[in-house]
C-alpha cells in the first residue's frame, strides 16, 4: 500500500480523519457483517476505508477528487473488493446502486458544504437505505438530534427526525483530522423509520410548512402560518396558535401539514 501524499483540498472541504480510536468506535457502532452493502462517501486516504475493506467482501466508495480516485485505482491489493464511483455524492443514484440487493448502509466523513443537502438527497430514498453514519460538523449534529424547546431545534431537526431515528454517537475534536478543522465534529447515526406515529399525507407540504414555521422563529404560529392555516385549523389538532415553532414536536408538524389540501402549494422560504 502506497501512502497518500497529497494535501487536503479546501475546495472539497477535505479534513482527513486519522484518529484510530474514533474509527474503532465508529466501526463498533456499525457492527458490520460480511454481506452488508456499504457505501462510503469520500474515502480520502482510507483511514476508515481500509478497516471497512477488512470486514467486507465489497465496498462502494464515492469520490470527486481526481487525485484521490487515481490513488485508489493504483491500490492493487483492494481492486477486487473496492468499487469506485467517480462523481459528486449529490448525484449518486441510490435506487440504481442498490438494484435488487440488500438495503444500503451509508457512511462517511462529510464536508460541511454538502452535508445537509446530501442527507436530504439520501432521505428521498428511505426504503433503499438501512442506516447511515456520518461524521459532521458538531453544530449540524446538534441540530439534527435536537429536541423541541431548544435553540438548536429547527427545520433540519424536524425533517430528519420525521424520516429517521437519530442517535448522537460521539463528539470528535479537531485533533482527529488532518488538517485540523477550526470547529468540533461529531458522529451521528440515522436509521430510516419503517413506521410513523403519524404519517404525512405529502412530505413536500410538510417540508414547506416546517420551513414557513421556522422562517421567523420569534413569531407565533398564528403569524408564521397565517398564509397556510387559520387559527381554528391550528386549534383543531390541539395546538395553541400562540406557540412558537420550536415548541412543536415532529408529530405536531405532521398534524398541521395534513390539514393542507394536496393541491395547495406555498412559496418555499428556504
User: Residue 175, Cβ neighbours under 10 Å: how many?
Assistant: 9
Last residue of a domain, one of 170, 192, 214: 192
Q: What domain range includes position 135?
A: 10-192
Task: Say yes or no: 103 and 228 in one domain.
Answer: no
Please tell me the distance from the alpha carbon of residue 153 to that of residue 10, in angstroms, as a whole number: 29
Encode pLDDT of 109-119 as tens digits.
888 788 999 99
Task: Check whether residue 81 and residue 135 sit in a common domain.
Answer: yes
Residue 154 within a domain: yes
Residue 113 shares a structural domain with residue 208: no
Could you give the 3-state DSSP secondary structure of residue 243? coil
* Claim to verify: residue 73 and residue 172 sit in the same structural domain: yes
1 within a domain of the structure (yes/no): no
Domain co-membership, 162 together with 223: no
The string of pLDDT tens digits covering residues 171-201 is 999 888 877 778 899 999 999 999 998 999 9
Report pLDDT for 177: 83
Q: How confident is the model at residue 2 (pLDDT cuts 50, 70, 90)?
A: low
pLDDT of residue 39: 97
Domain-embedded: residue 93: yes
The CATH number covering residue 147 comes to 3.40.50.150
Spatial contact of 22 and 176, defined as CB atoms under 8 Å apart: yes
Predicted confidence (pLDDT) per residue in 69-80, tens digit: 998 899 898 989
CA distance 117 to 27: 25
217 in the same domain as 142: no
Contact 128, 95 (CB under 8 A): yes
Q: Please give the pLDDT value at position 149.
A: 94
Residues 31 and 143 reside in one and the same domain: yes
Domain-located, residue 262: no
CATH number at residue 242: 1.10.8.100
Q: Are residues 77 and 116 in the same domain?
A: yes
pTM: 0.88
pLDDT tens, residue by residue, 145-160: 999 998 999 999 999 9
Look at residue 234 and tell me whether its pLDDT is greater than 90.
Answer: yes
- Does 186 lie in the same domain as 214? no
Task: Give the pLDDT confidence score for residue 3 in this predicted structure.
Answer: 60
Beta bridge partners of 167: 189
Say if CB 111 and CB 119 are below 8 A apart. no
Judged on CB neighbours under 10 Å (0-12, 13-18, 19+), 139 is: middle
Q: Indicate if 74 and 160 belong to the same structural domain.
A: yes
DSSP 8-state code for residue 34:
T
Grid cell digits, residue 212: 414557513
Q: Which of 192, 217, 246 is where one domain is finished?
A: 192
Average pLDDT, the chain: 89
Number of domains the chain is built from: 2
Which residues 6+ apart lie within 8 Å of 178 measured at CB?
8, 15, 16, 18
Across 45-68, average pLDDT: 92
Q: In what order do the strands lie in the sheet with 164-172?
A: 82-86, 59-63, 37-41, 104-109, 129-137, 185-192, 164-172
Amino acid at each position: 500500500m502506497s501512502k497518500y501524499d497529497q494535501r487536503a483540498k479546501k475546495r472539497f472541504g477535505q479534513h482527513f480523519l486519522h484518529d484510530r480510536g474514533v474509527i474503532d468506535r465508529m466501526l463498533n457502532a456499525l457492527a458490520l457483517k460480511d454481506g452488508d452493502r456499504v457505501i462510503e462517501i469520500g474515502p480520502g486516504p482510507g483511514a476508515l476505508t481500509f478497516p471497512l475493506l477488512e470486514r467486507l467482501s465489497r465496498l462502494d466508495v464515492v469520490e470527486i477528487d481526481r487525485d484521490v480516485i487515481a490513488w485508489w485505482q493504483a491500490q492493487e491489493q483492494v481492486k477486487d473488493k473496492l468499487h469506485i464511483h467517480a462523481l459528486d455524492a449529490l448525484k449518486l443514484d441510490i435506487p440504481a446502486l442498490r438494484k435488487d440487493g440488500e438495503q444500503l448502509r451509508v457512511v462517511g466523513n462529510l464536508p460541511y458544504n454538502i452535508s445537509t443537502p446530501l442527507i436530504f438527497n439520501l432521505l428521498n430514498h428511505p426504503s433503499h437505505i438501512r442506516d447511515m453514519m456520518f461524521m459532521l460538523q458538531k453544530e449540524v449534529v446538534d441540530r439534527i438530534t435536537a429536541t423541541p424547546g431548544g435553540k438548536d431545534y429547527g427545520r433540519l431537526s424536524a425533517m430528519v427526525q420525521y424520516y429517521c431515528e437519530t442517535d448522537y454517537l460521539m463528539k470528535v475534536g479537531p485533533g482527529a483530522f488532518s488538517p485540523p478543522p477550526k470547529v468540533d465534529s461529531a458522529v451521528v447515526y440515522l436509521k430510516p423509520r419503517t413506521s410513523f406515529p403519524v404519517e404525512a399525507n405529502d412530505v413536500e407540504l410538510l417540508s414547506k410548512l416546517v420551513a414557513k414555521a421556522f422562517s421567523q422563529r420569534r413569531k407565533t404560529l398564528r403569524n408564521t402560518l397565517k398564509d397556510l392555516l387559520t387559527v381554528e385549523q391550528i386549534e383543531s389538532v390541539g395546538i395553541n396558535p400562540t406557540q412558537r415553532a420550536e415548541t412543536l414536536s415532529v408529530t405536531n408538524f405532521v398534524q398541521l401539514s395534513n390539514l393542507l389540501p394536496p393541491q395547495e402549494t406555498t412559496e418555499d422560504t428556504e
